[in-house]
Amino acid sequence: MPKTGRALLSIACLAIATLSLSGCSLPLADLPSPMGLPADAPARPSAPPDYPSVNDQAPVRQDTTLSDDERKRLEKELELARERQKGTSRQN
């Protein structure tokens, strides 16, 4: 390949690499609607949302656990619901 051909190929490769890398820094969301956000999209919030700190702990729950009677009643209701579903699935 002649030197001018190699030089042109080098320039073309460099231009393609430059264009492809510059595309990574382009904020597509700020472009007009064919490539960015549609015209009817809601506006962005002015400040980013706050994230909880890493060491923050969840508040203590105020709910109490189920008593044995409540748990048995719920298990019985679930068993009855499961049996009803088995019956309806066989009819279909």
- Residue 68 confidence class, pLDDT cut points 50, 70, 90: very high
Q: Tell me: pLDDT of 79 over 70.
A: yes
**What residue type is assigned to position 11 of the chain?**
I
Q: What is the DSSP string of 60-71?
A: PP-PPPPPHHHH
- pLDDT tens-digit profile of 13-56? 988 888 777 666 656 656 665 666 677 878 878 887 787 777 87
The Cα–Cα gap between 37 and 31 comes to 7
Please state the rounded mean pLDDT for residues 65-89. 91
pTM listed for this prediction: 0.32
Cβ contacts of 74 within 8 Å, gap of 6 or more: 66
